[in-house]
Every structure is written in structure tokens, then in C-alpha cells.
């Protein structure tokens, strides 16, 4: 007899979006930071390019920080699965841990 599986959504779509935006921002910050670090080896010597890289790095940082602030707000006023309360194990976990 084949097994049947039921799918449960643990996290709300908003939490998933916040996490993926953070992943993309961190990857972009690392990439731009590495380009800034190795600008001489990459042939970037003009002042405008250096300033542009720094501005891009700052903009991505602001996106990351804004996303973090919005996520923290959602942790208090968002859907039930997005709140910090959802992270704390409930009575079911306590019953499993304490026989």
C-alpha cells in the first residue's frame, strides 16, 4: 500500500520572502565587497567606479537593514506563524520531552 503524505505550511509566505531577501542581500554584499577588495586585480581604477561600488554596497545594506526591521515588526504584529511566539515549543513538545 503506498504511503500518503500530507503537506503542512510551517512558515507564512511573508517569512519565506524575508528570508530569501536576506539571503540575496548577503550574497550581493559579499560579492560587491569582494569586487571592492580586488578592484585593482579586476582593472577597476576610476574614481567613479569605486564610488559606484561603495554606493551599491550601501544601498544593498540599507535593503538588508530595512528587511530586518520589517521582519522584527512582523515578529510582534504579523501572522501567527511569523511571530516569535511560534518559535517557542508548546505543550505538545513538553509532553514529549517529559514522559
Question: pLDDT at position 69, please?
Answer: 93
Write out the chain's pLDDT in tens, 99 residues: 677 877 766 777 888 899 999 999 999 999 999 999 999 999 999 999 999 999 999 999 999 999 999 988 888 887 777 777 666 666 555 555 555
Give Cα 19 distance to the centre of its chain. Answer: 3
Three cell numbers at 82? 511569523
Question: pLDDT at position 65, please?
Answer: 97
Considering the entire predicted model, what is its pTM? 0.73
Give the C-alpha separation, 55 to 85, whole Å.
37
Alpha-helix residue ranges (DSSP H) falling in 1-99: 13-37, 47-77, 91-97
Query: What are the residue boundaries of the structural domains of the chain, listed by start?
Result: 13-97
- Considering only CA atoms, which of 79, 59, 80, 85 is closest in space to residue 67? 59
Amino acid at each position: 500500500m503506498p504511503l500518503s503524505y500530507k503537506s503542512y505550511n510551517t512558515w507564512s509566505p511573508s517569512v519565506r520572502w524575508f528570508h530569501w531577501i536576506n539571503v540575496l542581500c548577503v550574497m550581493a554584499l559579499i560579492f560587491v565587497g569582494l569586487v571592492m577588495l580586488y578592484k585593482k586585480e579586476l582593472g577597476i581604477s576610476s574614481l567613479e567606479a569605486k564610488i559606484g561600488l561603495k554606493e551599491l554596497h550601501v544601498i544593498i545594506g540599507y535593503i538588508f537593514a530595512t528587511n530586518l526591521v520589517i521582519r522584527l515588526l512582523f515578529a510582534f504584529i504579523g501572522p501567527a506563524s511569523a511571530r516569535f511566539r511560534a518559535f517557542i515549543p508548546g505543550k505538545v513538545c513538553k509532553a514529549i520531552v517529559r514522559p
